[in-house]
C-alpha cells in the first residue's frame, strides 16, 4: 500500500469489557494483554468502556497498567468518564431520585426485577433478589443492599438504573415499555439479562466523542471494539469499528469490520491488524 494512501494512524482504542476484552471466564488472556501492551508502547491510548462502574474496571486497568495520570476509562455505559489515577471526572450524567422512582414503578408494573447504582453501592427494592443482581454486584465489585423504596434517601442520585431478569422475560416486556420511559431515557440491553436505563445524553458513543475531543483526537483516529447493543453508539462514532465474532447481529451489521470471538482472543487480533500491522491493510 502506498504510504500516502494509508488511513490515519489509530491513536485511541475503545474496548468494551464483558464479551469483548475478557474471555468467557472474565479473564484477560496473555495474547490480549500483550497486544494492548505493545499498542500502548507505541503511544496508542487504550480506553476500557463498560456498563460496569469504575470499581468493576479497576482490577483490569491495574492488570493492564492503564492506571497513570494520562489514562482514562468510560464507565456505566458512558454515564461517567474519569481520569484513572486521580478520579477526576471528565463526563458525568447522574440520574435523580425522581428518575429512580419513575423507573422502579415501571419495572414493578411490568413484573421485572430492578436495581440502581449510585457509584458506590448497588440497591434493589426486590425482596426476592435476582441472581443477575447478585452476579452484577460481584462483577462490579460493589456491595449490594436491599432497600424498600420508602427507605431510600431522596437526596440520592444514580449513575444508572437497570431492569434485570431472565432473557425471555426481558424480551417480552421491552415492547411494553411506556413511551414516557423510552422518550425520557436511553434504554439498551448490555447483556441478555440486563436492560439498562441512563441519561439520554450519555452512552458509550457520546462519551467517547467527548473524551476524544478532550484529548484532541479526531474520530478517524479512533477504533472501537464491542459486542452488545450498548456498544453500537461508540462503533458508529469510531473511524474504525470492529464487531466481535460473538456480537449480536445489530452490532455485526453496524461495524465496518469483524474479528474473532472473545474465546478466540478477537481483541488481540483486531489490535494486531489495525494498530500493530505496519501495512494496516484494511
Q: Catalytic pick from 16, 18, 99, 227?
A: 16
Closest by CA to 45, choosing from 223, 257, 227, is 223
pLDDT bin (cut points 50, 70, 90) of residue 7 is low
Q: In this structure, what C-alpha cell is assigned to residue 254? A: 453496524
**Does the pLDDT value for residue 207 go beyond 60?**
yes
**In angstroms, rounded to a whole number, what is the distance separating the alpha carbons of residues 243 and 40?**
21
Determine whether 18 is an active site residue: no
Label the pairing between strands 240-243 and 222-226. parallel
CB 265 within 8 A of CB 231: no
Q: What is the pLDDT of residues 120-130, one digit of tens each?
A: 899 999 999 99
Q: What is the pLDDT of residues 19-61, one digit of tens each?
A: 999 999 999 999 999 999 999 999 999 999 998 989 999 999 9
pLDDT bin (cut points 50, 70, 90) of residue 280 is very low
Please count the CA atoms within 13 angstroms of the CA of 125 that sit on its side-chain side: 21
Percent of the chain at pLDDT exceeding 70: 96
pLDDT of 147: 96
Lowest-pLDDT range, 98-107, 141-150, 187-196?
187-196
How many residues are listed for the chain in this entry?
A: 282
Query: What pTM value is reported for the model?
Result: 0.83
Which single residue is written with the C-alpha cell 464487531?
A: 243
pLDDT of 279: 40
Tell me the average pLDDT of the chain: 93
pLDDT of 8: 78
**Does the pLDDT value for residue 282 go beyond 80?**
no
Closest by CA to 26, choosing from 130, 142, 135, is 135
Percent of the chain at pLDDT exceeding 90: 84
Q: Which residues pair with 225 in a beta bridge?
A: 15, 242
- Mean pLDDT to the nearest integer, 90-102: 95
Amino acid at each position: 500500500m502506498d504510504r500516502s494512501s494509508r488511513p490515519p494512524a489509530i491513536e485511541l482504542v475503545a474496548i468494551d469489557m464483558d464479551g469483548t476484552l475478557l474471555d468467557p471466564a472474565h479473564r484477560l488472556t496473555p495474547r490480549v494483554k500483550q497486544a494492548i501492551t505493545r499498542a500502548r508502547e507505541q503511544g496508542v491510548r487504550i480506553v476500557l468502556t463498560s456498563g460496569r462502574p469504575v470499581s468493576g474496571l479497576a482490577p483490569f486497568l491495574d492488570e493492564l497498567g492503564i492506571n497513570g495520570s494520562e489514562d482514562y476509562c468510560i464507565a456505566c455505559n458512558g454515564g461517567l468518564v474519569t481520569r484513572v489515577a486521580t478520579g477526576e471526572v471528565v463526563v458525568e450524567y447522574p440520574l435523580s431520585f425522581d428518575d429512580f422512582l419513575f423507573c422502579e414503578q415501571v419495572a414493578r408494573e411490568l413484573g421485572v426485577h430492578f436495581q440502581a447504582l449510585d457509584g458506590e453501592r448497588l440497591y434493589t427494592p426486590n425482596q426476592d433478589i435476582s441472581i443477575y443482581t447478585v452476579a452484577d454486584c460481584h462483577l462490579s465489585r460493589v456491595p449490594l443492599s436491599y432497600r424498600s423504596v420508602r427507605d431510600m434517601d431522596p437526596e440520592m442520585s444514580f449513575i444508572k438504573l437497570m431492569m434485570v431478569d431472565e432473557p425471555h422475560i426481558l424480551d417480552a416486556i421491552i415492547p411494553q415499555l411506556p413511551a414516557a420511559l423510552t422518550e425520557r431515557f436511553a434504554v439498551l440491553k448490555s447483556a441478555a439479562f440486563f436492560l439498562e436505563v441512563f441519561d439520554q445524553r450519555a452512552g458509550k458513543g457520546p462519551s467517547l466523542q467527548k473524551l476524544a475531543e478532550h484529548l484532541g483526537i479526531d474520530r478517524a483516529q479512533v477504533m472501537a471494539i464491542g459486542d452488545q447493543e450498548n456498544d453500537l453508539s461508540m462503533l458508529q462514532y469510531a473511524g474504525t469499528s470492529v464487531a466481535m465474532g460473538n456480537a449480536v447481529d445489530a452490532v455485526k451489521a453496524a461495524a465496518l469490520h469483524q474479528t474473532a470471538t472473545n474465546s478466540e482472543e478477537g481483541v488481540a487480533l483486531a489490535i494486531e491488524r489495525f494498530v500493530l500491522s505496519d501495512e494496516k491493510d484494511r
